[in-house]
Amino acid sequence: MKQPTPGLTRALARLGGSLRTARIRRRLSQKDMASLMGVSIGTVQRIERGDPGVAIGSIAMEFLCLNSLDKLASVLDPSVDELGAAADSLRLPKRVRSMTTDSERRRRSASSSEPIAF
């Protein structure tokens, strides 16, 4: 794996800290969380430290155990991804041409005018 950037390191540490706070607010020990998740205590500790080598499945399982899977599922949801929407709008064509050819349109209109036999 490539060396994580400082920004990534900070983001993972912030995520880990948030997961730790959520766990503590629910009065769960690391041992309890590990048991719920089906992982070792070390994995929970690595998640909470922001270790970039932790599997995304383990992080997702912690969200699930905290009854917060909807928050993970909404990360970069296209309906709220303003940066992605802005980039898309720059790449959208000015006009869109029909994918069907003239012969395809004629064939469709000819077949639609025939009576339907039962």
Confidence of residue 108 (pLDDT cuts 50, 70, 90): low
pLDDT score at 59: 97
Q: Which residue segment(s) compose the domain that 45 sits in?
A: 6-90
112 falls in which pLDDT band (50, 70, 90)?
low
Instruction: Say if 27 falls within a structural domain.
Output: yes
Supply the pLDDT for residue 31.
Answer: 98
Number of domains in the chain: 1
Establish if 115 belongs to a structural domain: no
What would the mean pLDDT of 5-30 be, rounded to a whole number?
97
The verdict on residue 118 lying in a domain is: no
Rounded to 5°, angle at Cα 104 from 101 and 111? 160
d(CA 59, CA 53): 11
Cα angle, residue 70 at apex, residues 52 and 5 outer, rounded to 5°: 20
Q: Considering the entire predicted model, what is its pTM? A: 0.69
Residue 21 in any domain: the answer is yes
Q: What is the per-residue pLDDT for 27?
A: 97
User: What is the rounded average pLDDT of the residues 75-90?
Assistant: 81
